[in-house]
Amino acid sequence: MNELVDDIYESLKSDLNKAYSHQQSEYLLVRAGRANPHILDKVQVEYYGVMTPLTQMGTISVSEARILNINVWDQSQIKNVVKAIIQADIGITPTDDGKTIRLVFPMLTEERRKELVKNVKKICEDTKVVMRNARRDALDLLKDLKKDNSISEDEMSAAEKEVQKHIDKYTGLADALCEEKEEEIMTI
């Protein structure tokens, strides 16, 4: 097979993998009624003038199904951590006793669950849009090769089928991940 075509396949696979990985990381941030330490992954705290990820400032643990405990190593920074969590707008108000910060996840109402499922479906659809854009880009590159007579009509046809095969595989993975997350959210 043509080396240029192989490069297009590799680029396509890379783009599809990035889109799928992004979907997975977005789903980790969706609250499903259970304490999930990943909800704090994007929280940044001003620590002596430098924005520092909360995960590098202390230990985050799940003490009960719906309670996250945050033990900050530098106790003088507890107020800054609480402030950063509030500013991150994760939908949970932290409480602290001077030593430990607690996040208590409320039970989800049926209405909130449906709202979360809608959000999960939107993330999935956004992922599939990115995947379709990657397909379009790959097909455009293949058409350029065909126009330059670098590949034949038959090679072009085979390459288009191969591109579609990759798209079908990754959109299937995205849909399966979406269904799994929906089920997790709707399970009481």
Tell me the per-residue pLDDT of 85-125, one tens digit each, with 9 for 90 and over: 898 877 788 998 888 999 888 787 888 888 889 999 999 99
Q: How much of the chain, in percent, has pLDDT values that exceed 90?
A: 49
This prediction's pTM: 0.73
Going along the chain from its start, the domains and CATH numbers come out as: 3-29+109-186 (1.10.132.20), 37-104 (3.30.1360.40)
105, HSE (Cβ side, Cα atoms, 13 Å): 23
Extended strands (E) in the chain: 44-47, 50-53, 58-64, 67-72, 95-96, 101-104
* Residue 144 · residue 107 · CB < 8 Å: no
67: Cβ–Cβ under 8 A, 6 or more apart, which residues? 35, 102, 103, 104, 105
What H or E segment, with its residue span, contains residue 125? helix 110-147
| DSSP-derived secondary structure letter, 133 | H
Tell me how far CA of residue 92 lies from CA of 33, 84, 179, 187, in angstroms: 11, 12, 26, 21
Check whether 188 has a pLDDT greater than 70: no
* Residue 85 · residue 79 · CB < 8 Å: no
Instruction: At 124, give phi and psi (nearest 5°).
Output: -65, -45
> Residue 109: what pLDDT?
83
Strands 58-64 vs 95-96: parallel, antiparallel or unpaired: unpaired
Residue 171: pLDDT band (50, 70, 90) is very high
pLDDT digits (tens, 9 = 90+) for 27-75: 887 766 677 788 888 889 988 889 999 889 999 998 887 889 999 999 9
